[in-house]
Amino acid sequence: QVKLVESGGGSVQAGGSLRLSCAASGFNYASYCMAWFRQAPGKEREWIARIATGGGSPFYDDAMRGRFAISEDSSGNTVYLEITSLIPEDTAMYYCAAIAGKGWCDLGTWPDFRYWGQGTQVTVSS
């Protein structure tokens, strides 16, 4: 059974940093495209970044470049998202997603991810 479990969210003050984790299990982690996205109440989903497992190059949505860094640890089947210089507008539920096939990460568009986690809440106060 595929399982994605996010952690690392919390309440922080503006200017701080967080490192979110997504622990993956139940599938062949070595051959997947993994991604992070966020969604705030009443707002549309915003894609942040994606990365192919096993050392793929990260790809960032144009609107998310600069303060977000995606990375992955194949030995621990975990994908990370580091967010720096947090601002109140970063307040949202952050989710990770996965789709089989590293090649999905090389496309010029966001694929239809097959698996989703339950999310971790990030709240930034001014």
66-103 pLDDT per residue, tens: 999 999 998 889 999 999 999 999 999 999 999 999 99
Count other Cβ atoms within 10 Å, centred on residue 8.
16
Dig out the tokens for 56 from the structure. Answer: 């793929």
Q: CA neighbours within 13 Å on the CB side: how many for 116?
A: 13
- Distance from CA of residue 91 to its chain's centroid? 14
Tell whether the model's pLDDT for residue 30 goes beyond 90.
Answer: no
CB 67 within 8 A of CB 17: no
What is the rounded distance in angstroms from the CA atom of residue 73 to the CA atom of residue 6? Answer: 14
Report the amino acid identity of residue 98: A
- What's the whole-number average pLDDT of the chain? 94
CB 69 within 8 A of CB 2: no
Helix (H) or strand (E) holding 37: strand 32-39
pLDDT of residue 86: 98
Task: Name every residue whose Cβ is closer than 8 Å to that of residue 29 and which is 6 or more positions away in sequence.
Answer: 53, 74, 77
pLDDT of residue 75: 85
What is the rounded distance in angstroms from the CA atom of residue 47 to the CA atom of residue 38? Answer: 7
